[in-house]
Amino acid sequence: MEIKNYDTMLEDVAWLQRAVSRDFHLNPPVSRDVVITEGGKNFTTAVDRAVEDVMRAELRNRWPDIGFLGEESDATVDGRYRWIIDPTDGTSIYAQGGDYYSMSLALADRETGTVPLGVIYQPANDRQFFRQIGVPHPWMRTLEFQHKGDGTYLEISTPLLRPSKSTCPGEWLACAFGTSKHYDKIPGIKEKLKSVFEKEKYAAFEGREWGVIDARPAAGSSALFMADIADGKRHAAVTFFQAAWDMAVGALIARDAGCIVHCGTDVNTWTGGDLESQIARCDKKTLINVSVFANPDVQEYFERKAGLRY
């Protein structure tokens, strides 16, 4: 099997993603109460599991030869292509009634080591970011849909992405975090990254203090946060111990838009590999460290404050 035309596939996937999120995230037929798993090291909701089950069934019905890798279920990765899905990226935010969560879906080509298609959808604000192989970035893409069931018509657009060029730390929005159950793999990293948000005195303003704004807990969705860096709304994300579904689309959208993106699968670094191929060829146990910076000044600030080196 070889996919040659992604235009129609992108439209189908974008519509499906919106429809399922509307039916489950915005109007949940099951409880959004948190369920603690893995002996207290992880959590989920019934909505997460329901979204993944429905998406898996719908994608399998449309493209039966494409495998599947999801956060909530066992992986089926046979064949050249597979879907990578995070049904609710930012479960903690969603479960508390917040807005900064998303559904992230990517198509990976394991043979070429690429991610030719991806979509991020933020249901609460009806925002959707697209990625398609062979389409230059930053780009404005308008998709037109006519729903086959009821004939309704919809037109949606992804933003014309422009990363921030700001050199002023006092207005930067950033996050630095990892999956808590893996903190012991890099002793002291949590405290080290906190130093990024410590305020500094500026002599030109008689010693007044400013610092980077810690955007957590609004960093609920890693994928959405990285897409917002590409869109000029945020400025940096330093993440570690992330699974493929956590950044499969967002980090690549940011890279394509001109942001500085570093990654690595060694637990102690954010260097050492090509992000797209790592995502495309990962398995359920793969952990990836990913950093995204809007511009070189933001990266240099993080390097100085947290002692990071790229």
Whether 142 and 192 map to the same domain: the answer is no
Whether 21 and 132 map to the same domain: the answer is yes
pTM over 0.85: yes
Position 217 scores a pLDDT of 66
Position 67 scores a pLDDT of 92
Whether 11 and 148 map to the same domain: the answer is yes
Among 123, 157, 191, the domain-final residue is 157
Position 273 scores a pLDDT of 74
Neighbours of 226 (CB within 10 A): 33
Neighbours of 122 (CB within 10 A): 23
Position 120 scores a pLDDT of 95
- Domain range holding 221? 169-306
The predicted-structure confidence for 187-200, as pLDDT tens digits, reads as follows 777 777 788 898 88
Average pLDDT over residues 209-219: 82
* Residues 6+ positions from 230 with CB-CB distance below 8 Å: 129, 138, 161, 163, 253, 254, 256, 257, 258, 259
HSE toward the beta carbon, residue 222, CA cutoff 13 A? 27
What are the backbone dihedrals phi and psi of residue 108, each rounded to the nearest 5 degrees, phi first?
-105, 140
Whether 119 and 202 map to the same domain: the answer is no
Q: Are 212 and 254 in contact (CB under 8 A)?
A: no
CATH number of domain containing 180: 3.40.190.80
Whether 116 and 36 map to the same domain: the answer is yes
Position 65 scores a pLDDT of 92
| 140 — pLDDT class (breaks 50, 70, 90) | low
Whether 25 and 133 map to the same domain: the answer is yes
Residue 238 has pLDDT above 70, yes or no: yes
Position 62 scores a pLDDT of 94
Does a structural domain hold residue 244?
Answer: yes
Whether 102 and 200 map to the same domain: the answer is no
Does a structural domain hold residue 1?
Answer: no
| 24 — pLDDT class (breaks 50, 70, 90) | very high
Answer whether the bond into residue 296 is a cis peptide, omega within 30°.
no
Q: What share of the chain is helix, strand, coil (3-state, %, to 5)?
A: 35, 30, 35
| 76 — pLDDT class (breaks 50, 70, 90) | low
Whether 107 and 176 map to the same domain: the answer is no
Among 130, 157, 184, the domain-final residue is 157
Whether 143 and 248 map to the same domain: the answer is no
Q: Which of 30-34, 47-51, 268-272 has the highest mean pLDDT?
A: 47-51
Whether 11 and 153 map to the same domain: the answer is yes
Whether 73 and 122 map to the same domain: the answer is yes
d(CA 223, CA 248): 7
Whether 101 and 220 map to the same domain: the answer is no
Does a structural domain hold residue 215?
Answer: yes
How many domains, the chain? 2
d(CA 122, CA 27): 14
Does a structural domain hold residue 12?
Answer: yes
